[in-house]
Structure 1
Amino acid sequence: MLSANLQGKRHMSGSIDYGNLMHRAMRGLIKEVLTDVAADGLPGEHHFFITFDTGHPDVQIADWLSDRYPGEMTVVMQHWYDNLKVGDEGFGVSLNFGDAPEALFIPYDAIKTFVDPSVEFGLRFENQDSDEDEDDAHGPEIVRDEGLPSEASSKASKKDAPKDAEVVSLDSFRK
């Protein structure tokens, strides 16, 4: 009976949306990691570079930050962060910008990349526009040793900056 229901659901939609399923799973991973960090702090040398869409309707950042970073912004959670609160839709954190703390709220679905260079781990979320042809849609990627954008909002030492990226695209597994 269960398999008949699943089969019927698959036929009704036409196909399994693996891209969105992967996005949801990857965002769940980010939520779990941030939940652990909120409870116990950053372990060892771990730190995060998080790039997000500043134009996302649910992003909450100071006006001067959205003016300075109108498309996307990369924040670094490493030496100083405060008030990390993790929720179902996103997370809030206070970060230091030029010795001035600023509160931010970043929804998970605004995140473009999540990188922990201490262990050469990264996730990259590609947009899937509904008017794109299915064969041309880009799904999420699991990234090893992801390169950083040229402008990070917090300073990181050069030793933390990853070298060449090795990208494993899920598109290569599609038929």
Structure 2
Amino acid sequence: MEKKNKILRILMDSEEPIKGKVLAEKIGVSRQMIIQYISKLKTEGHKIASTRDGYILEREKGIRKMIAVKHSSNEIEDELFSIVNAGGTVLDVIVEHPLYGEIKGRIDVKTVNDVIKFMSLLKTTHATPLLELSEGIHIHTIEVKDEKTFEEVKKAIKKYLILDL
């Protein structure tokens, strides 16, 4: 089997992200070759996401909707906890930048532990949250199991909500 197809099979068999280093070891190639194979798979139409935890084959597990919100960096944790406690998964954050246009970052937060891990990374890396590039205005793609859950998510973050798209 072609190495590219082996990578795809490994990703298809996993529900969790897999680090590029792990894929490289399993396939017997360099980490750089994994990047090239993943790029090729993406150009072939496979929905492979590059996350901070590794590569994952995206599988929709419900309804995906976008919401526009505005808040400060100090309120990120509250927003994320509110969304996951209402049954939502925060897939990404999108901001509009005057020079680059749309900038999108993966978040992949679906549990309380994911929020804790994300906030820890935010604090320890001293990274600037994307919302700071847009005066706090940003968009999230939210995944929920059904419309009722989406309405619960909107209620939970009502104080941040600008509009749902």
TM-score by length of 1: 0.27
Which has the larger helix fraction?
Answer: 2
TM-score by length of 2: 0.28
> Which structure exhibits the higher relative contact order, with contacts defined as CA atoms closer than 8 Å and separated by 6 or more residues?
2
